[in-house]
Amino acid sequence: MIENLPGKWNTVLELSRLLEPLPEIGLHLDIGHANLMVEENTTEELLAIYAPRLRHVHLHDNKGGSADLHLPLGSGTIEIPHQLRLLKKAKYDDTITLEVFCEDRHYLEYSRDLLRQWWEELAPLPPEKPKLVAASTAYSASSARSEK
């Protein structure tokens, strides 16, 4: 597995150099890292391309920039419910490792409880509607009857 890392391996373009030549390698998505040293969180971009290769997820909050703070959920700037919807849309339903680095264990327990609550309450994002493309197709009376 390859984990996205801020600064060098945190966008589709950067990770594609590692993942494309090695189709058997899975993605280890760190949602907190996806929020560091980028203009906007790259989780959605990474899942759009590499969801089928998603093998594990790390989750923690931070405040962007370059400091990998590993904050409790809800105490930074990451929209955690949105990120969880993206995971559900990608049909991910496996282990999510909370990386909350605080001396007080209550922050980890609070994050665990919040993650469970959000996961149960949140519906996945609806699939994107297909883009309509003008095309010439044959249309017959039999197909019209089957559409009714």
From CA 17, how far away is CA 9, in angstroms rounded? Answer: 9
Tokens matching residue 44: 């959605």
CATH of the domain at 73: 3.20.20.150
Task: Print pLDDT tens along the chain (148 aa).
Answer: 999 999 999 999 999 999 999 999 999 999 999 999 999 999 999 999 999 999 999 999 999 999 999 999 999 999 999 999 999 999 999 999 999 999 999 999 999 999 999 999 987 666 665 444 444 333 333 334 444 4
Q: What is the count of structural domains for the chain?
A: 1
Give me the helices (H) in 20-122, please: 43-50, 80-89, 105-121
Tokens matching residue 58: 């790390």
> Could you list the residue range(s) of the whole structural domain that residue 109 is in?
2-147
Nearest to 89 by CA among 147, 43, 41: 43
Orientation of helix 105-121 relative to helix 80-89, angle to 10°:
50
The answer to whether the predicted template modeling score (pTM) of the entire model surpasses 0.85 is: no
